[in-house]
Amino acid sequence: MIYAASIFAVCKSSVLYAAGFLAEVSGGPRAPPPPGAVPRRGHENITDPLVGIYNRRYLDRRLEEEFARAKRYASPLSVLLIDVDHFKRINDIHGHHIGDLALYELGKLILQSIRETDIVARYGGDEIVIIAPNTTTALAEVLAERLRQNVENQNLALKGGADKSKDVHLTVSIGVADLTQEAKDSRALLLNADQMLYHAKKEGRNRVVIYGVIPSRPSFPLDE
């Protein structure tokens, strides 16, 4: 019986490993259901209904958990704070309905651009956070730049009133920060990313700025 139980445990472990491998190579992180879909149990409490990604409540909890885990095991952790450039203009020109659709499409594009282990959540307004566990600054910069380019190269055809399609082109600014000695808690880590986002927008938008590596370029006035 003991021998049989051992064989069963090994087989079960192999099946679980294979399932995890297939999930990883199949592409794309597991994500909350899109707006309008029937959420699985519990997802309605952690999903942003507009963008189709995790909400602020889930973000705060997971960021604290990942920060504590990174501190405990001395592993790298990075945070990306994303903001849509001139989003107010999109709402003013095309209306809030198109703005909402643009945010939803952005959420889908981000989910297609990240890894299985990354966590994506809406921070507020048109700001989105990516928590990247076990990710150094160098890797986070690669992830952020890939995402920035993917957004810039995408032209969104969104259905407006009377089923008229409107072309919307987005760009994003991204601030990146990693776990440093200065970051005493998860809020400080996010604040560092927010400061880098400010610099990205100040330096002309549509760019990535890394904490500790502030570019020396001519400054441009900030506007919405």
pLDDT of residue 11: 44
- Dist. CA 43–CA 32, nearest whole Å: 7
- Dist. CA 128–CA 83, nearest whole Å: 7
CATH number 3.40.47.10 is the correct assignment for the domain at 31-210: no
pLDDT of residue 42: 54
Query: How many CA atoms lie within 13 Å of 206's alpha carbon, on the beta-carbon side?
Result: 10
- Which residues are known to be catalytic? 126
Q: How confident is the model at residue 190 (pLDDT cuts 50, 70, 90)?
A: very high
The whole-model pTM stands at 0.77
- Dist. CA 108–CA 129, nearest whole Å: 14
pLDDT of residue 68: 97
For every residue of 38-60, DSSP letters joined together read -PPTTGGGTB-TTTSSB-HHHHH
Q: What is the DSSP letter of 32?
A: P
What the block records as the tokens of 101 is: 């659709």
Residue 31 makes CB contacts below 8 A (sequence gap 6+) with: 52, 53, 111, 120
Q: Quick one: average pLDDT of 117-125?
A: 96
In the chain, where are the structural domains located? 31-210
Q: How confident is the model at residue 40 (pLDDT cuts 50, 70, 90)?
A: low
| Per-residue pLDDT tens digits for 62-71 | 999 999 999 9
